Chains A and B, each alone.
Chain A
Amino acid sequence: MILQLNHLQRNHAASSAQDVIGALYSLLEEGRLEQSQFAHLRVHLDWIQYRQNFRDAVTVTREPSEHGEIHPPIEMHVDTRQLVPDSLREDILRAMIRANPEPEGVEDRLFLEDFKTFRSSLVWDFNRLYWHRLPDWEEATGRSYEQALPGGKSDANHPEAVADCVADFWTLLRDLENKNRLAPEIFALEIGVGMGVRSRIWLDRFRALDQERGTNYYPRLKFLLGDYSLSTLERSRPAVREHLDLCSFIVLDAIDPTKTLSFLRHKLLHIHLTNVYDNLPDEEFARRDGRLHLVQVRAYIPSGESVRIAKAFELPAGEMSRTVNRLLESGPDYFSDHSRGVAFWQEIWKALRLEERVVSLEDLPDVSLPAGLDPSHLEDVLQEAPADFRFHLSSGALESFRSTLPLLHPRGFLQVQDIFVTDLNEYLLGFHGPGKLDGSIVNWVNGVLLREVGERAGYDVHFAPFRYRQGSRTSILYTTQRE
């Protein structure tokens, strides 16, 4: 057995390692765990910082058989945060039985889909539903999504951070003007505007700085607020009411902003995104003994929860799967009582889990990587990576990043404020998603791959920790031209 500690929470690591080893040995001694199973166990102790997430306390995935192996590896993930010592043995046994190729007598899950890539899972439909029906969710919970963030507010709105960004922008304008290269219209874009607070702070600060310096850039500014949700854009309007004359509100596809903004190709002097990439569809890969595997998932609701929710909402138990699909298609309005529909949505989201399996990439010749990252680039990146670890492909973020770069003016810069993994070894030191944040999905973003894609596109990518709030896990990605 190999025991891997994937986190730095000392107290959880020490006691749970002892509990897990003790439980496994006792199961082995009782004959409830075979020696061959024990020999091929890889036990991962994780600590999931997202209290709401998609995992049970113990999950087991059987690795695919390769090269004629009789006993392929068995991967066990233990969430040390959820772990309850008294029920650990039963949790392990149940997870082991469920991971059998043909599990007997285990029908404790209501599956909502077949196995598929994480990106294709219906959990992303829930994510989309959340952003499109955000006011409904907020009304039901009594708090805004910003209040649901760790710390109760967004780092994006930190006035000092915004002021520094404005100063950089102003300096760029002055440099261009000194070289007679500043166009009459000055374009800037914010993607993922939320309530418009950051945009307001930015515009207020830019106007003030411009007036202070007497440069008259502000009247030439064309500030675009972009979001994929029309309702979010509408909510941002009041925040920037003093600047409406130079603001435009644009619904855009976060994965490919050029679909809507191609007319601004090479014209944007500044683009900013906050907490967008961590919410875009993603894939997860696992590397075992140097070979790559794709993590596939299927969404389910534990049967106990399914029965409880069906009873609470007076639904036939057999109708649960269909009702969930209708919810995702039509939103909470599917229910004649709107508030009941929202309550159902929240219950389902809370109960929702993901079962996993890993599939060798050689068996999936059609897995396509995001544009800008081909298999040889990924191989280059993985040369410096651990031989056994799981990592995000951050496919949505990579596509969005690569699609956004062509909008930049030759001297423009992109800033992205988000949660980034900047060294692949970090995947061995903590859990990086997916988790649930309010009604949405949150995933750390693979900054290493962003850097690779950026370099190939002609930009050096840098990460600076968000120094404006102590304890923040956010970093700021910014680009510089690559010569």
Chain B
Amino acid sequence: MNLPILPTTVVGSYSMPGWLERLKTEYFARRISRHDLDEIHDTAIKAAIKDQEIAGIDIITDGELRRDNMIDYFVERLPGVQIDRSSKKFYYDFYDSSVIGKLPMAPLGLAGDFRFLAANTERETKFCVTGPHSLSKRIRNEFYPSEEAFATDIARVMNLELKELVKAGARLIQIDEPNYSGFPADLSWGVKVLNTMVEGVEAKIAVHICYGNRYGKPSWEGSYRYLFPKILEAKVQQLTLEFARRGGEDLDLLKEFSAPFELGLGVIDVKTNAVETPDLVAERIREALEVLPAERIFILPDCGCFHLPRNIAFAKLCAMVEGTRLVREELKN
């Protein structure tokens, strides 16, 4: 990938406009067709891509605007999952879904979404998927003997899909596993399942672990210490973590445990509408540079910008890019 030092990117989601929320809900109420919704999504995604480009982001995503939430986009595609489609009153709600038999191996059709992203930008791209641990927490298991067994099968299906994404040209894939923070005791098998998912996938793999962003508020609190040392066994190249909202205290863990990963450094708090200054962003980057060299740091917000109003999300990304530029200048000198 052709990238500057301290490359900037987003965690995945971009601001979800109110009009798009209403249209998505209209679709569930059967008032607009799938075809129309697809067109609406295409248009919204192009706008999100443009915003990222104008803000100066180096690695672009599609803003995840096709997704209702981080679970159902995959639940609808996972073969063998039963969905109660009447369980959604509002598009953002989770489906009531369950698995009653072994998941068959079948493609999920994500490559088409990636191709759309790649065709609409000349910048480097990233595609984000939800990990098997987090998915297994939201799908009711009525077949497998354990959550681990269920998550392992999800991982096998997703492994196939990641390979399809690579064939389509994806070079950076991020796996989202916020539920590690909610269920730290699962980490021992969680990492094993993650490794199953990325086995043989020839792309840079990042895993995003936050403290939850459902409705723009944290789902859990605590320290990242729970990740170590188990996370060191993960066969990924980058850890994407939140530090803006929670402070940089846990940065020392990377040094303490000699973590070999790149760090996706969260420098923007996405749970507040207060726009950071570039100087504040730069300060947060400098704090991380005391722990890791610049070559191993990517700059991102703490989590997705889904809940931020569009103008705020855009302003925050601009501040992030400008703050990064300040530090790049310092490093050059």
Q: Which chain A residues have a beta carbon within 8 Å of chain B's beta carbons? A: 181, 183, 265-266, 374, 376, 405-406, 408-410, 455-459, 481-483
Q: Write out the residue numbers on chain B whose beta carbons fall within 8 Å of the beta carbon of A455.
A: 90
User: In the complex the two chains form, is A457's CB within 8 Å of B215's CB?
Assistant: yes
Return the contact of B219 from the options A406, A410, A457 (Cβ within 8 A).
A410
Question: In B195-222, which residues have CB < 8 Å from any A CB?
Answer: 211-212, 214-222
Nearest CB on B from A399, distance (A): 14
User: In the complex the two chains form, is B18's CB within 8 Å of A409's CB?
Assistant: no
User: In the complex the two chains form, is B216's CB within 8 Å of A410's CB?
Assistant: no
Return the contact of B218 from the options A183, A410, A483 (Cβ within 8 A).
A410
Nearest CB on B from A182, distance (A): 10
Nearest CB on A from B178, distance (A): 12
Most buried by A among B220, B221, B271: B221
User: In the complex the two chains form, is A376's CB within 8 Å of B215's CB?
Assistant: no
Return the contact of A266 from the options B22, B90, B217 (Cβ within 8 A).
B217
> Other CB < 8 Å A-B pairs besides A266-B217, A406-B272, 4 of them?
A181-B222, A266-B221, A456-B215, A481-B219
Q: Write out the residue numbers on chain A whose beta carbons fall within 8 Å of the beta carbon of B22.
A: 376
User: In the complex the two chains form, is B221's CB within 8 Å of A409's CB?
Assistant: yes
**What are 22 A-to-B residue pairs whose CB atoms are below 8 Å?**
A181-B220, A181-B222, A183-B221, A265-B272, A266-B217, A266-B218, A374-B18, A376-B18, A376-B22, A406-B217, A406-B271, A408-B217, A409-B221, A410-B212, A410-B217, A410-B218, A410-B220, A410-B221, A457-B215, A458-B216, A458-B217, A459-B215
Q: Write out the residue numbers on chain A whose beta carbons fall within 8 Å of the beta carbon of B73.
A: none
Q: Write out the residue numbers on chain B whose beta carbons fall within 8 Å of the beta carbon of A409.
A: 221
Q: Write out the residue numbers on chain B whose beta carbons fall within 8 Å of the beta carbon of A265.
A: 271-272
Say what secondary structure dominates the interface of chain B.
loop
Number of A-B residue pairs at CB separation under 8 A: 40
User: In the complex the two chains form, is A458's CB within 8 Å of B214's CB?
Assistant: yes
- For A182, give the chain B residue with the smallest CB separation: B221
B94 within 8 A of A: yes
User: In the complex the two chains form, is A483's CB within 8 Å of B214's CB?
Assistant: yes
Q: Write out the residue numbers on chain B whose beta carbons fall within 8 Å of the beta carbon of A266.
A: 217-218, 221, 271
- For A258, give the chain B residue with the smallest CB separation: B272
Instruction: Tell me, in angstroms, the Cα distance from A164 to B211 when the chains sit together.
Output: 31
Q: Write out the residue numbers on chain A whose beta carbons fall within 8 Å of the beta carbon of B218.
A: 266, 410
Q: Write out the residue numbers on chain A whose beta carbons fall within 8 Å of the beta carbon of B222.
A: 181
Instruction: Tell me, in angstroms, the Cα distance from A483 to B215 when the chains sit together.
Output: 9
Nearest CB on B from A313, distance (A): 49
Instruction: Tell me, in angstroms, the Cα distance from A410 to B219 when the chains sit together.
Output: 5
Question: In B72-120, which residues have CB < 8 Å from any A CB?
Answer: 90, 94
Nearest CB on B from A32, distance (A): 51
Instruction: Tell me, in angstroms, the Cα distance from A376 to B21 when the chains sit together.
Output: 11
Most buried by A among B90, B217, B218: B217
Nearest CB on B from A349, distance (A): 39
Q: Write out the residue numbers on chain B whose beta carbons fall within 8 Å of the beta carbon of A458.
A: 214-217
Q: Write out the residue numbers on chain B whose beta carbons fall within 8 Å of the beta carbon of A410.
A: 211-212, 217-221
Instruction: Tell me, in angstroms, the Cα distance from A84 to B116 when the chains sit together.
Output: 74
Q: Write out the residue numbers on chain B whose beta carbons fall within 8 Å of the beta carbon of A376.
A: 18, 22
- For B138, give the chain A residue with the smallest CB separation: A483
Q: Write out the residue numbers on chain A whose beta carbons fall within 8 Å of the beta carbon of B221.
A: 181, 183, 266, 409-410
Most buried by B among A266, A481, A482: A266
Top 6 nearest A-B pairs (CB, nearest first) are: A458-B215, A410-B218, A410-B219, A266-B218, A376-B22, A410-B220
Q: Write out the residue numbers on chain B whose beta carbons fall within 8 Å of the beta carbon of A406.
A: 217, 271-272
Q: Write out the residue numbers on chain B whose beta carbons fall within 8 Å of the beta carbon of A481.
A: 219
Instruction: Tell me, in angstroms, the Cα distance from A266 to B222 when the chains sit together.
Output: 12
- Mask of B240-258 contacts with A, CB within 8 angstroms, 1/0: 0000000000000000000
Most buried by A among B22, B94, B215, B271: B215
Nearest CB on A from B212, distance (A): 7
Instruction: Tell me, in angstroms, the Cα distance from A459 to B216 when the chains sit together.
Output: 11
Q: Write out the residue numbers on chain B whose beta carbons fall within 8 Å of the beta carbon of A482.
A: 215
- For A405, give the chain B residue with the smallest CB separation: B217
Instruction: Tell me, in angstroms, the Cα distance from A183 to B218 when the chains sit together.
Output: 15
- Mask of B209-238 contacts with A, CB within 8 angstroms, 1/0: 001101111111110000000000000000
Instruction: Tell me, in angstroms, the Cα distance from A87 to B170 when the chains sit together.
Output: 83
Instruction: Tell me, in angstroms, the Cα distance from A266 to B221 when the chains sit together.
Output: 9
